[in-house]
């Protein structure tokens, strides 16, 4: 079983559209959407949800007003400035404390040190994750609640589930739509992957982000390949990216034309391959041949 993870230094490089096309070309694979912050793959693959689970990422503190004597110890020790003083809700004199749920990181220090045991510490549901059917195979995906933490944990959970499913269904390929950036969710997306495909654009920002992401992936000793999307928008910059790849011994598996059909396909809820023949779809088919070869090595 091989796991192909598609990432991009910055967002908006066409990563998700490319994943949808790869899913079409692979015909049979387990799909995983790990871009949990801005999950879009479902818009094209239109999954039918089979199983739905809560995602519990951590805990959160809650001060029970009736038990709080207003000593303020919690506010003094909280490193996240998450506890604020407030007037008693029954209008009588004196004050109590409350936890700002957006700033609270669920460390539990206040819970431990409250002299009146007035702080509850409960698990919170940060989102939901799903196992679904799509026209190209089973898909694992999720939604993360607003202003929620722990996207890295959720990403790891999705990849773990996708692997379980691949084993059960005897599938030889998992395609993962990874997270952008170089932070916690993307690290959780790529560790242990068989091939990391970095989708970039021929812009200065694209090159800059590519360098950072490659350095990150190198740190985890992963096998990296690159695709340059919309490469004809700035051929000079594409050459620079190719030169960079060559110097760093990274294969450029795809150079994809700028193609107005990409937006049209998205509006029709199709992958570019399904949308029909176009410059872009021909390029992606070429890329898929190279990727399949690397995956079978």
Partner 1 sequence: MTKKNIKIAVASGKGGTGKTTISTNLARAIAKNRRAAQYLDCDVEEPNGHIFLKPEIQKSKAVTIDVPEVDNEKCNGCGRCSDICQYNAIVSLKKVVVTFDQLCHSCGGCKLVCPTSAITDKAKEIGFVDIGVAKEIGFIQGRLNIGDIHTPPLIKEVKKAASSDSVIVIDAPPGTSCPVIEAIKDCDFVVLVTEPTPFGLNDLRLAVGMVRELKLPFAVVINRSDAGDDEVLKYCSKEKIDVALEIRDDIEIAKAYSKGEMIVDVAADYERGFIDLFDYIDKNIQLQEKLI
Please give the residue ranges that form the binding site for ligand SF4 (CB under 6 A).
61, 78, 80, 82-83, 99, 104-110
Contact 46, 134 (CB under 8 A): yes
Part of the chain binding partner 1 (CB under 8 A), chosen from 68-76, 88-96, 232-240, 280-288: 232-240
Query: Could you tell me where the beta strands, DSSP code E, fall in the chain?
Result: 2-7, 30-33, 48-63, 83-87, 95-99, 119-134, 137-144, 173-177, 195-200, 224-229, 251-256
Taking Cα atoms as reference points, which of 295, 40, 55, 289 lies closest to residue 193?
Answer: 295
Take residue 9 and report the two structure tokens written for it: 């230094």
- The correct pick among 139, 162, 187, 224 for binding partner 1 (CB under 8 A) is 187
d(CA 219, CA 44): 33
User: Closest Cα partner for 73 from 100, 113, 34?
Assistant: 113
* Interior/surface letters 18-43, b for 16+ CB within 10 angstroms, e for the rest: bbbbbbbbbeebbbbbbbbeebbbbe
Grouping H, G, I as helix, E, B as strand and the rest as coil, residue 169 is helix
| DSSP category for residue 14 | S
To ligand SF4, the closest distance from the beta carbon of 95 in angstroms equals 16
Q: With respect to ligand SF4, which residue has the nearer C-beta, 105 or 274?
A: 105
CB of 32 to partner 1, least distance (A): 18
Helix spans in 66-222 (H): 73-77, 109-113, 151-169, 184-190, 204-219
From the list ligand SF4, partner 1, none, which binds 82 (C-beta under 5 to 8 Å, kind-based)? Answer: ligand SF4
Q: How far is the CB of 150 from ligand SF4 (least distance, A)?
A: 14
User: From the list ligand SF4, partner 1, none, which binds 46 (C-beta under 5 to 8 Å, kind-based)?
Assistant: none
Nearer to partner 1, 158 or 165 (CB): 158
Q: Are strands 137-144 and 30-33 parallel, antiparallel or unpaired?
A: parallel
Candidate ranges 88-96, 147-155, 156-164, 285-293; the one touching partner 1 (CB under 8 A)? 147-155
Among partner 1, ligand SF4, none, residue 104 binds (CB under 5-8 Å by kind): ligand SF4
Closer CB to partner 1, 191 or 292, in the complex: 191
Does the protein bind partner 1 through residue 254 (CB under 8 A)?
no
DSSP state of 47: P
Contact 130, 49 (CB under 8 A): yes
Q: Specify the residue, 149 or 165, whose C-beta has the smaller distance to partner 1.
A: 149
- The count of chain residues that interact with partner 1, using the rule CB under 8 A, is 57
Residue ranges in 3-42 that form contacts with partner 1 under rule CB under 8 A: 9-13, 16, 35, 37-38, 40
Q: Which is nearer to partner 1, 232 or 286 (CB)?
A: 232
Please, what is the minimum distance in Å from the beta carbon of residue 186 to partner 1? 8
Nearest one of 154, 138, 165 to 26, comparing CA atoms: 138
The footprint of partner 1 (CB under 8 A) covers 9-13, 16, 35, 37-38, 40, 43, 58-59, 77, 79-80, 102-103, 105-109, 112-113, 144, 146-149, 151-152, 180-185, 187, 201-205, 208-209, 212, 215-216, 219, 233-234, 237, 263, 266-267, 269
């Amino acid at each position: 079983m091989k796991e192909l993870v598609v990432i991009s230094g910055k967002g908006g490089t066409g990563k998700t559209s490319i994943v949808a096309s790869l899913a079409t070309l692979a015909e049979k694979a387990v799909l995983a959407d790990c871009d949990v912050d801005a999950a879009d793959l479902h818009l094209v693959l239109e999954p039918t949800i089979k199983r739905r689970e809560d995602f519990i990422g951590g805990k959160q503190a809650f001060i029970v007003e009736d038990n709080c004597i207003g000593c303020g110890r919690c506010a003094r020790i909280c490193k996240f400035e998450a506890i604020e003083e407030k007037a008693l809700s029954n209008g009588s004199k004196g004050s109590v404390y409350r936890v700002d749920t957006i700033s609270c990181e669920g460390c539990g220090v206040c819970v431990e040190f409250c002299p009146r045991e007035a702080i509850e510490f409960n698990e919170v549901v940060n989102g939901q994750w799903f196992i679904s059917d799509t026209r190209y195979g089973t898909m694992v995906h999720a939604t993360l609640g607003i202003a929620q933490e722990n996207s890295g944990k959720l990403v790891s959970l999705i990849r773990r589930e996708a692997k379980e499913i691949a084993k059960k269904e005897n599938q030889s390929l998992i395609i993962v739509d990874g997270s952008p950036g170089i932070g916690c969710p993307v690290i959780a997306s790529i560790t242990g992957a068989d091939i990391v495909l970095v989708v970039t654009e021929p812009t200065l920002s694209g090159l800059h982000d590519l360098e950072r992401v490659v350095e990150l992936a190198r740190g985890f000793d992963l096998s990296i390949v690159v695709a340059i999307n919309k490469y004809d928008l700035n051929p000079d910059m594409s050459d620079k990216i190719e030169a960079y790849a060559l110097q760093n011994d990274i294969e450029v598996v795809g150079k994809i034309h700028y193609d107005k059909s990409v937006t049209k396909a998205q509006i029709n809820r199709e992958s570019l391959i399904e949308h029909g023949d176009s410059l872009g779809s021909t390029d992606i088919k070429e890329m898929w041949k190279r990727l399949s070869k690397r995956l079978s090595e």
